[in-house]
Structure 1
Amino acid sequence: MSYANLLPEDTLVITIAINGYGFLYQRNIASQRRYAQRNHYHYQAVTRPYYSPLGMEVAWLKLHLIRYALLSGYKQVLFVDADAYIQPQCPPLSEAVQDGYSIYAARGYSDRVNSGVLLLLSSPESIAFLDRVISMRDKAIPDSDDVGWGENGHVIHCLKDEPSFFELSNKWNNNSDPGLADYIRHFSAGPLRQRYQFSRPAKALFICLKLANGIRRRLAAHDLNVTVELDKLAQQCLTTYPQLNHTHR
Protein backbone atom coordinates (compact mmCIF):
# COMPACT_ATOMS: atom_id res chain seq x y z
CA MET A 1 0.00 0.00 0.00
CA SER A 2 1.26 3.47 -0.88
CA TYR A 3 1.00 5.85 2.02
CA ALA A 4 0.52 8.68 -0.47
CA ASN A 5 -2.90 7.24 -1.30
CA LEU A 6 -4.04 7.10 2.32
CA LEU A 7 -6.73 9.59 3.33
CA PRO A 8 -7.15 10.79 6.94
CA GLU A 9 -10.64 9.29 7.13
CA ASP A 10 -9.11 5.88 6.38
CA THR A 11 -7.38 5.98 9.78
CA LEU A 12 -8.81 4.68 13.05
CA VAL A 13 -7.44 5.59 16.47
CA ILE A 14 -8.77 3.26 19.12
CA THR A 15 -8.45 2.54 22.83
CA ILE A 16 -10.04 -0.09 25.08
CA ALA A 17 -11.17 1.01 28.53
CA ILE A 18 -13.79 -1.47 29.72
CA ASN A 19 -14.19 -2.73 33.30
CA GLY A 20 -14.30 0.86 34.51
CA TYR A 21 -11.02 2.10 33.04
CA GLY A 22 -12.98 4.59 30.95
CA PHE A 23 -13.77 6.46 34.16
CA LEU A 24 -10.24 6.20 35.52
CA TYR A 25 -8.48 7.54 32.43
CA GLN A 26 -10.94 10.15 31.16
CA ARG A 27 -8.18 12.73 30.70
CA ASN A 28 -6.09 10.41 28.55
CA ILE A 29 -9.06 9.38 26.45
CA ALA A 30 -9.90 13.05 25.86
CA SER A 31 -6.32 13.68 24.66
CA GLN A 32 -6.59 10.78 22.22
CA ARG A 33 -9.88 12.08 20.88
CA ARG A 34 -8.36 15.56 20.38
CA TYR A 35 -5.42 14.06 18.49
CA ALA A 36 -7.76 12.21 16.15
CA GLN A 37 -9.83 15.34 15.59
CA ARG A 38 -6.77 17.46 14.81
CA ASN A 39 -5.71 15.02 12.13
CA HIS A 40 -9.22 14.17 10.88
CA TYR A 41 -8.90 10.53 11.93
CA HIS A 42 -11.77 8.47 13.23
CA TYR A 43 -11.63 7.78 16.96
CA GLN A 44 -13.31 5.16 19.11
CA ALA A 45 -12.97 4.60 22.85
CA VAL A 46 -14.33 1.13 23.67
CA THR A 47 -15.63 1.63 27.20
CA ARG A 48 -18.39 -0.97 27.30
CA PRO A 49 -19.20 -3.45 28.62
CA TYR A 50 -18.55 -2.10 32.09
CA TYR A 51 -17.90 -5.66 33.21
CA SER A 52 -15.99 -8.54 31.68
CA PRO A 53 -14.93 -11.65 33.62
CA LEU A 54 -11.66 -11.64 31.67
CA GLY A 55 -10.05 -9.11 33.98
CA MET A 56 -6.51 -8.27 32.80
CA GLU A 57 -6.80 -10.71 29.90
CA VAL A 58 -9.06 -8.16 28.22
CA ALA A 59 -5.76 -6.86 26.81
CA TRP A 60 -6.04 -9.53 24.09
CA LEU A 61 -9.13 -7.78 22.76
CA LYS A 62 -7.01 -5.10 21.09
CA LEU A 63 -5.67 -7.59 18.56
CA HIS A 64 -9.15 -8.78 17.61
CA LEU A 65 -10.49 -5.25 17.12
CA ILE A 66 -7.45 -4.01 15.19
CA ARG A 67 -7.76 -7.00 12.88
CA TYR A 68 -11.47 -6.43 12.32
CA ALA A 69 -10.99 -2.71 11.62
CA LEU A 70 -8.28 -3.37 9.03
CA LEU A 71 -10.32 -6.06 7.31
CA SER A 72 -13.36 -3.78 7.27
CA GLY A 73 -11.53 -1.20 5.17
CA TYR A 74 -9.45 1.03 7.42
CA LYS A 75 -6.02 1.55 5.89
CA GLN A 76 -4.26 2.13 9.20
CA VAL A 77 -5.14 1.64 12.85
CA LEU A 78 -3.40 3.25 15.81
CA PHE A 79 -4.12 1.49 19.07
CA VAL A 80 -3.32 3.42 22.24
CA ASP A 81 -3.79 2.07 25.77
CA ALA A 82 -6.23 4.01 27.91
CA ASP A 83 -3.42 4.89 30.33
CA ALA A 84 -1.54 6.73 27.56
CA TYR A 85 -1.79 10.50 26.99
CA ILE A 86 -1.26 11.91 23.51
CA GLN A 87 0.59 15.22 23.71
CA PRO A 88 -0.56 18.29 21.75
CA GLN A 89 2.73 18.22 19.83
CA CYS A 90 2.24 14.65 18.60
CA PRO A 91 2.69 14.70 14.82
CA PRO A 92 0.43 12.94 12.31
CA LEU A 93 1.07 9.26 11.72
CA SER A 94 2.64 9.99 8.34
CA GLU A 95 5.79 10.98 10.27
CA ALA A 96 6.05 7.51 11.78
CA VAL A 97 5.44 5.43 8.66
CA GLN A 98 8.37 4.08 6.64
CA ASP A 99 8.29 2.53 3.18
CA GLY A 100 8.11 -1.26 3.26
CA TYR A 101 6.84 -1.62 6.84
CA SER A 102 3.29 -2.14 8.10
CA ILE A 103 3.75 -2.94 11.83
CA TYR A 104 5.06 -0.33 14.27
CA ALA A 105 5.79 -0.28 18.00
CA ALA A 106 8.37 1.08 20.43
CA ARG A 107 10.38 -0.40 23.29
CA GLY A 108 9.23 0.18 26.85
CA TYR A 109 11.20 0.61 30.07
CA SER A 110 11.98 -3.13 30.13
CA ASP A 111 13.85 -2.70 26.81
CA ARG A 112 11.29 -4.94 25.12
CA VAL A 113 8.47 -3.98 22.78
CA ASN A 114 5.55 -2.43 24.62
CA SER A 115 2.20 -3.15 22.96
CA GLY A 116 0.44 -0.21 24.61
CA VAL A 117 0.92 1.73 21.38
CA LEU A 118 0.59 -0.22 18.14
CA LEU A 119 0.33 1.16 14.62
CA LEU A 120 -0.66 -1.26 11.89
CA LEU A 121 -1.19 -0.52 8.23
CA SER A 122 -3.48 -2.65 6.10
CA SER A 123 -1.40 -5.34 4.43
CA PRO A 124 -1.29 -9.12 4.12
CA GLU A 125 1.72 -9.04 6.44
CA SER A 126 -0.02 -7.15 9.24
CA ILE A 127 -3.08 -9.41 9.12
CA ALA A 128 -0.87 -12.50 9.12
CA PHE A 129 0.99 -11.11 12.14
CA LEU A 130 -2.24 -10.53 14.06
CA ASP A 131 -3.47 -14.02 13.15
CA ARG A 132 -0.20 -15.51 14.36
CA VAL A 133 -0.26 -13.76 17.72
CA ILE A 134 -3.93 -14.55 18.34
CA SER A 135 -3.41 -18.20 17.42
CA MET A 136 -0.60 -18.47 19.99
CA ARG A 137 -2.66 -17.29 22.95
CA ASP A 138 -2.66 -20.72 24.61
CA LYS A 139 0.92 -21.52 23.69
CA ALA A 140 3.95 -21.05 25.90
CA ILE A 141 6.57 -18.48 24.95
CA PRO A 142 10.16 -18.11 26.18
CA ASP A 143 10.59 -16.62 29.64
CA SER A 144 12.61 -13.80 28.11
CA ASP A 145 9.50 -12.64 26.24
CA ASP A 146 6.84 -13.36 28.87
CA VAL A 147 5.39 -10.47 30.87
CA GLY A 148 3.09 -12.60 33.03
CA TRP A 149 -0.32 -11.70 31.59
CA GLY A 150 -2.05 -10.39 28.50
CA GLU A 151 -0.84 -10.35 24.94
CA ASN A 152 2.32 -8.23 25.25
CA GLY A 153 4.68 -11.18 25.66
CA HIS A 154 3.29 -12.89 22.58
CA VAL A 155 3.64 -9.64 20.61
CA ILE A 156 7.27 -9.38 21.75
CA HIS A 157 7.89 -12.97 20.70
CA CYS A 158 6.24 -12.72 17.28
CA LEU A 159 7.91 -9.42 16.35
CA LYS A 160 11.41 -10.85 16.77
CA ASP A 161 11.36 -12.41 13.31
CA GLU A 162 8.80 -10.13 11.64
CA PRO A 163 10.28 -8.42 8.54
CA SER A 164 7.36 -5.96 8.32
CA PHE A 165 8.10 -4.55 11.78
CA PHE A 166 9.65 -1.11 12.24
CA GLU A 167 10.75 -0.02 15.70
CA LEU A 168 9.52 3.45 16.58
CA SER A 169 11.33 5.99 18.70
CA ASN A 170 10.20 5.83 22.31
CA LYS A 171 8.76 9.31 21.78
CA TRP A 172 5.77 7.42 20.40
CA ASN A 173 5.40 5.36 23.56
CA ASN A 174 7.29 6.78 26.52
CA ASN A 175 6.72 4.86 29.74
CA SER A 176 10.09 5.51 31.35
CA ASP A 177 11.48 9.03 30.98
CA PRO A 178 9.61 11.95 32.61
CA GLY A 179 11.98 14.44 30.99
CA LEU A 180 11.51 13.23 27.41
CA ALA A 181 9.86 15.56 24.91
CA ASP A 182 7.54 12.75 23.93
CA TYR A 183 4.53 12.39 21.66
CA ILE A 184 2.70 9.78 23.74
CA ARG A 185 3.26 9.49 27.48
CA HIS A 186 2.30 6.06 28.75
CA PHE A 187 1.48 5.75 32.45
CA SER A 188 1.77 1.96 32.45
CA ALA A 189 3.23 -0.21 35.19
CA GLY A 190 6.67 1.34 35.38
CA PRO A 191 8.52 4.54 36.27
CA LEU A 192 5.74 6.90 35.12
CA ARG A 193 2.78 5.21 36.83
CA GLN A 194 3.09 7.28 40.02
CA ARG A 195 3.08 10.51 38.03
CA TYR A 196 -0.48 10.13 36.80
CA GLN A 197 -2.96 12.19 38.80
CA PHE A 198 -6.33 10.46 39.08
CA SER A 199 -9.36 12.61 39.82
CA ARG A 200 -10.95 11.62 43.13
CA PRO A 201 -14.48 11.10 41.73
CA ALA A 202 -13.17 8.96 38.85
CA LYS A 203 -11.01 6.88 41.17
CA ALA A 204 -13.86 6.37 43.64
CA LEU A 205 -16.20 5.27 40.85
CA PHE A 206 -13.56 2.92 39.47
CA ILE A 207 -12.96 1.32 42.87
CA CYS A 208 -16.70 0.75 43.39
CA LEU A 209 -17.02 -0.82 39.95
CA LYS A 210 -13.95 -2.97 40.52
CA LEU A 211 -15.36 -4.27 43.80
CA ALA A 212 -18.70 -5.04 42.15
CA ASN A 213 -16.96 -6.82 39.27
CA GLY A 214 -14.88 -8.83 41.74
CA ILE A 215 -18.04 -10.03 43.46
CA ARG A 216 -19.55 -11.01 40.11
CA ARG A 217 -16.46 -13.05 39.22
CA ARG A 218 -16.53 -14.88 42.56
CA LEU A 219 -20.20 -15.72 42.10
CA ALA A 220 -19.55 -17.26 38.71
CA ALA A 221 -19.61 -21.02 39.25
CA HIS A 222 -17.67 -22.09 36.18
CA ASP A 223 -14.09 -22.16 34.96
CA LEU A 224 -13.36 -19.30 32.61
CA ASN A 225 -12.52 -20.22 29.03
CA VAL A 226 -10.52 -17.18 27.93
CA THR A 227 -10.68 -17.96 24.22
CA VAL A 228 -14.47 -18.34 24.28
CA GLU A 229 -14.92 -15.20 26.40
CA LEU A 230 -12.65 -13.20 24.09
CA ASP A 231 -14.66 -14.22 21.04
CA LYS A 232 -17.90 -13.28 22.81
CA LEU A 233 -16.49 -9.96 23.98
CA ALA A 234 -15.19 -9.08 20.52
CA GLN A 235 -18.59 -9.72 18.97
CA GLN A 236 -20.27 -7.67 21.68
CA CYS A 237 -17.92 -4.75 21.01
CA LEU A 238 -18.49 -4.91 17.26
CA THR A 239 -22.25 -4.74 17.87
CA THR A 240 -21.93 -1.89 20.36
CA TYR A 241 -19.46 0.09 18.25
CA PRO A 242 -20.35 -0.23 14.54
CA GLN A 243 -17.87 2.60 13.87
CA LEU A 244 -15.11 -0.02 14.11
CA ASN A 245 -16.29 -1.04 10.66
CA HIS A 246 -14.96 1.39 8.05
CA THR A 247 -18.25 1.40 6.19
CA HIS A 248 -19.97 2.90 9.27
CA ARG A 249 -17.47 5.69 9.90
Structure 2
Amino acid sequence: MSVFPTHEGRVAVVTGAARGIGQAIARHLGERGATVVAIDLADPMETVELIISGGHTAIGLTADVSDPEQTAAVGTQIIRRFGRVDILVNNAGIFPFRDIADLDYATWRHVLAVNLDSQFLMVKAILPAMKEGGWGRIVNLTSNSIATTSPGLSHYMASKMGDIGFTRGLANDLAPFGITVNAVGPTLTITPGVLQVHSKETLAAVAEAQAIKHNGQPDDLVGTIAFLTSDDASFITGQTVMADGGLAR
Protein backbone atom coordinates (compact mmCIF):
# COMPACT_ATOMS: atom_id res chain seq x y z
CA MET A 1 0.00 0.00 0.00
CA SER A 2 1.24 3.50 -0.83
CA VAL A 3 2.72 5.51 2.01
CA PHE A 4 1.50 8.70 0.36
CA PRO A 5 -1.81 10.39 1.23
CA THR A 6 -4.55 9.35 -1.16
CA HIS A 7 -7.35 11.32 -2.76
CA GLU A 8 -9.96 8.60 -2.71
CA GLY A 9 -13.52 9.93 -2.62
CA ARG A 10 -12.45 13.41 -3.71
CA VAL A 11 -13.62 15.27 -6.80
CA ALA A 12 -10.71 17.16 -8.36
CA VAL A 13 -11.10 19.84 -11.05
CA VAL A 14 -8.04 20.69 -13.15
CA THR A 15 -8.00 23.47 -15.75
CA GLY A 16 -5.69 23.53 -18.75
CA ALA A 17 -5.73 19.74 -18.53
CA ALA A 18 -5.55 18.75 -22.21
CA ARG A 19 -1.76 18.43 -22.27
CA GLY A 20 1.48 19.34 -20.55
CA ILE A 21 1.49 20.22 -16.87
CA GLY A 22 -2.30 20.09 -16.54
CA GLN A 23 -2.46 16.62 -18.04
CA ALA A 24 0.23 15.35 -15.67
CA ILE A 25 -1.59 16.82 -12.66
CA ALA A 26 -4.92 15.34 -13.71
CA ARG A 27 -3.40 11.90 -14.30
CA HIS A 28 -1.63 11.89 -10.96
CA LEU A 29 -4.69 12.92 -8.97
CA GLY A 30 -6.64 10.20 -10.77
CA GLU A 31 -3.97 7.64 -9.87
CA ARG A 32 -4.37 8.67 -6.24
CA GLY A 33 -8.06 7.90 -6.36
CA ALA A 34 -9.71 11.22 -7.16
CA THR A 35 -12.53 11.56 -9.64
CA VAL A 36 -11.04 14.03 -12.10
CA VAL A 37 -12.76 16.73 -14.12
CA ALA A 38 -10.36 17.79 -16.88
CA ILE A 39 -11.19 21.21 -18.35
CA ASP A 40 -9.56 22.87 -21.34
CA LEU A 41 -10.30 25.10 -24.30
CA ALA A 42 -8.81 22.28 -26.38
CA ASP A 43 -10.34 18.81 -26.34
CA PRO A 44 -9.33 17.18 -23.00
CA MET A 45 -10.37 13.65 -24.00
CA GLU A 46 -6.80 12.38 -24.38
CA THR A 47 -6.28 13.14 -20.69
CA VAL A 48 -9.59 11.54 -19.77
CA GLU A 49 -8.74 8.40 -21.72
CA LEU A 50 -5.33 8.14 -20.07
CA ILE A 51 -6.94 8.30 -16.63
CA ILE A 52 -9.69 5.83 -17.49
CA SER A 53 -7.23 3.40 -19.09
CA GLY A 54 -5.43 3.29 -15.74
CA GLY A 55 -8.61 2.11 -14.05
CA HIS A 56 -9.63 5.48 -12.65
CA THR A 57 -12.53 7.90 -13.14
CA ALA A 58 -12.55 11.11 -15.16
CA ILE A 59 -14.69 13.31 -17.39
CA GLY A 60 -13.66 16.05 -19.77
CA LEU A 61 -15.28 19.43 -20.31
CA THR A 62 -14.40 21.89 -23.07
CA ALA A 63 -14.63 25.51 -21.94
CA ASP A 64 -12.87 28.87 -22.01
CA VAL A 65 -12.24 29.43 -18.31
CA SER A 66 -11.53 33.11 -18.91
CA ASP A 67 -15.17 33.57 -19.97
CA PRO A 68 -17.54 34.24 -17.04
CA GLU A 69 -20.59 32.57 -18.61
CA GLN A 70 -18.76 29.44 -19.71
CA THR A 71 -17.04 29.09 -16.35
CA ALA A 72 -20.28 29.47 -14.40
CA ALA A 73 -21.89 26.86 -16.66
CA VAL A 74 -19.01 24.44 -16.09
CA GLY A 75 -19.33 24.87 -12.33
CA THR A 76 -23.06 24.17 -12.48
CA GLN A 77 -22.46 21.07 -14.61
CA ILE A 78 -19.84 19.67 -12.24
CA ILE A 79 -21.94 20.23 -9.14
CA ARG A 80 -25.03 18.70 -10.75
CA ARG A 81 -23.06 15.63 -11.81
CA PHE A 82 -21.06 14.99 -8.65
CA GLY A 83 -22.73 17.06 -5.94
CA ARG A 84 -19.37 18.21 -4.61
CA VAL A 85 -15.99 19.71 -5.46
CA ASP A 86 -13.07 19.03 -3.14
CA ILE A 87 -10.00 20.08 -5.13
CA LEU A 88 -9.43 22.83 -7.68
CA VAL A 89 -6.13 23.18 -9.53
CA ASN A 90 -6.06 26.39 -11.56
CA ASN A 91 -3.46 25.50 -14.16
CA ALA A 92 -4.72 27.18 -17.35
CA GLY A 93 -2.24 29.71 -18.69
CA ILE A 94 -0.64 31.27 -21.76
CA PHE A 95 2.75 32.94 -22.28
CA PRO A 96 3.06 34.89 -25.56
CA PHE A 97 6.38 36.73 -25.63
CA ARG A 98 6.09 40.47 -26.35
CA ASP A 99 8.55 43.27 -25.77
CA ILE A 100 6.78 46.11 -23.99
CA ALA A 101 7.17 48.29 -27.09
CA ASP A 102 5.16 45.74 -29.07
CA LEU A 103 2.69 44.78 -26.35
CA ASP A 104 -0.80 46.00 -27.21
CA TYR A 105 -3.64 46.33 -24.74
CA ALA A 106 -5.63 43.46 -26.26
CA THR A 107 -2.75 41.03 -25.65
CA TRP A 108 -2.22 42.42 -22.14
CA ARG A 109 -5.89 41.87 -21.30
CA HIS A 110 -5.98 38.40 -22.88
CA VAL A 111 -3.00 37.18 -20.85
CA LEU A 112 -4.45 38.54 -17.60
CA ALA A 113 -7.84 37.06 -18.44
CA VAL A 114 -6.49 33.56 -19.00
CA ASN A 115 -3.80 33.54 -16.30
CA LEU A 116 -5.51 35.49 -13.51
CA ASP A 117 -9.20 36.12 -14.18
CA SER A 118 -9.79 32.41 -14.85
CA GLN A 119 -8.60 31.55 -11.36
CA PHE A 120 -11.11 33.95 -9.82
CA LEU A 121 -13.91 32.71 -12.08
CA MET A 122 -13.24 29.04 -11.35
CA VAL A 123 -13.18 29.68 -7.60
CA LYS A 124 -16.49 31.51 -7.82
CA ALA A 125 -17.96 28.66 -9.87
CA ILE A 126 -17.13 25.85 -7.44
CA LEU A 127 -16.95 27.64 -4.09
CA PRO A 128 -20.56 27.06 -2.93
CA ALA A 129 -20.10 23.30 -3.22
CA MET A 130 -16.67 23.39 -1.58
CA LYS A 131 -17.98 25.44 1.33
CA GLU A 132 -20.90 23.09 1.78
CA GLY A 133 -18.50 20.18 2.01
CA GLY A 134 -16.50 21.89 4.75
CA TRP A 135 -13.20 20.81 3.18
CA GLY A 136 -11.29 22.04 0.18
CA ARG A 137 -7.92 22.43 -1.47
CA ILE A 138 -7.23 25.12 -4.07
CA VAL A 139 -3.88 25.32 -5.84
CA ASN A 140 -3.14 28.18 -8.22
CA LEU A 141 -0.29 27.81 -10.69
CA THR A 142 2.07 30.78 -10.76
CA SER A 143 5.62 30.85 -12.18
CA ASN A 144 9.19 31.15 -11.01
CA SER A 145 9.71 33.71 -13.78
CA ILE A 146 8.65 36.39 -11.30
CA ALA A 147 12.03 35.90 -9.60
CA THR A 148 14.16 35.53 -12.72
CA THR A 149 15.38 37.65 -15.63
CA SER A 150 12.88 36.92 -18.41
CA PRO A 151 12.60 39.64 -21.08
CA GLY A 152 9.39 39.98 -23.04
CA LEU A 153 7.13 38.71 -20.27
CA SER A 154 5.97 41.82 -18.41
CA HIS A 155 2.32 40.93 -19.03
CA TYR A 156 2.90 37.31 -18.02
CA MET A 157 4.81 38.27 -14.85
CA ALA A 158 2.06 40.71 -13.89
CA SER A 159 -0.52 37.95 -14.19
CA LYS A 160 1.59 35.48 -12.21
CA MET A 161 2.27 37.98 -9.41
CA GLY A 162 -1.50 38.51 -9.41
CA ASP A 163 -1.98 34.77 -8.92
CA ILE A 164 0.17 34.96 -5.78
CA GLY A 165 -1.74 37.95 -4.42
CA PHE A 166 -5.05 36.24 -5.13
CA THR A 167 -3.80 33.11 -3.38
CA ARG A 168 -2.81 35.00 -0.24
CA GLY A 169 -6.03 36.98 -0.04
CA LEU A 170 -8.25 33.98 -0.78
CA ALA A 171 -6.49 31.91 1.88
CA ASN A 172 -7.61 34.44 4.50
CA ASP A 173 -11.21 34.39 3.28
CA LEU A 174 -11.60 30.62 3.06
CA ALA A 175 -9.71 29.33 6.10
CA PRO A 176 -12.86 29.42 8.30
CA PHE A 177 -14.50 26.94 5.93
CA GLY A 178 -11.76 24.29 6.07
CA ILE A 179 -10.40 25.33 2.66
CA THR A 180 -6.71 25.93 2.04
CA VAL A 181 -5.31 27.95 -0.87
CA ASN A 182 -1.72 27.73 -2.06
CA ALA A 183 0.30 28.53 -5.18
CA VAL A 184 2.92 26.46 -6.98
CA GLY A 185 5.50 27.97 -9.32
CA PRO A 186 7.18 25.70 -11.85
CA THR A 187 10.39 26.40 -13.71
CA LEU A 188 10.56 26.40 -17.51
CA THR A 189 8.97 23.00 -18.05
CA ILE A 190 9.23 20.76 -21.09
CA THR A 191 5.75 20.87 -22.61
CA PRO A 192 4.59 21.07 -26.24
CA GLY A 193 4.01 24.82 -25.87
CA VAL A 194 7.45 25.48 -24.41
CA LEU A 195 9.18 23.45 -27.12
CA GLN A 196 7.50 25.61 -29.75
CA VAL A 197 9.03 28.86 -28.47
CA HIS A 198 12.32 27.98 -26.76
CA SER A 199 15.56 26.80 -28.34
CA LYS A 200 17.65 23.92 -27.07
CA GLU A 201 20.25 26.48 -26.00
CA THR A 202 17.73 28.35 -23.83
CA LEU A 203 16.51 25.15 -22.22
CA ALA A 204 20.09 24.08 -21.49
CA ALA A 205 20.91 27.46 -19.95
CA VAL A 206 17.89 27.29 -17.64
CA ALA A 207 18.79 23.77 -16.51
CA GLU A 208 22.37 24.85 -15.81
CA ALA A 209 21.18 27.79 -13.68
CA GLN A 210 19.13 25.50 -11.43
CA ALA A 211 20.53 23.68 -8.42
CA ILE A 212 19.00 20.49 -9.84
CA LYS A 213 20.41 20.55 -13.33
CA HIS A 214 17.79 19.06 -15.56
CA ASN A 215 14.93 20.71 -17.34
CA GLY A 216 11.67 20.49 -15.50
CA GLN A 217 9.19 17.88 -16.64
CA PRO A 218 5.44 17.97 -15.91
CA ASP A 219 5.82 15.00 -13.57
CA ASP A 220 8.28 17.02 -11.46
CA LEU A 221 5.36 19.13 -10.20
CA VAL A 222 2.76 16.54 -9.41
CA GLY A 223 4.12 15.46 -6.02
CA THR A 224 4.04 19.01 -4.68
CA ILE A 225 0.48 19.50 -5.89
CA ALA A 226 -0.62 16.09 -4.60
CA PHE A 227 0.70 16.99 -1.14
CA LEU A 228 -0.93 20.44 -1.10
CA THR A 229 -4.27 18.91 -2.08
CA SER A 230 -4.12 16.18 0.58
CA ASP A 231 -5.25 15.92 4.20
CA ASP A 232 -1.60 16.15 5.26
CA ALA A 233 -1.40 19.79 4.13
CA SER A 234 -4.25 20.97 6.35
CA PHE A 235 -2.09 23.57 8.18
CA ILE A 236 -0.52 25.10 5.06
CA THR A 237 -2.32 27.98 3.39
CA GLY A 238 -1.50 31.24 1.64
CA GLN A 239 1.92 29.95 0.62
CA THR A 240 3.81 29.92 -2.67
CA VAL A 241 6.03 26.92 -3.36
CA MET A 242 8.58 27.22 -6.16
CA ALA A 243 8.91 23.66 -7.47
CA ASP A 244 11.63 24.72 -9.86
CA GLY A 245 14.81 22.78 -9.18
CA GLY A 246 16.20 25.56 -7.00
CA LEU A 247 16.31 28.34 -9.59
CA ALA A 248 14.32 31.02 -7.73
CA ARG A 249 15.84 31.52 -4.27
Give the TM-score normalised by the residue count of structure 1.
0.31
Q: TM-score, normalized by length of structure 2? A: 0.31
Larger RCO (CA under 8 A, 6+ residues apart): 1
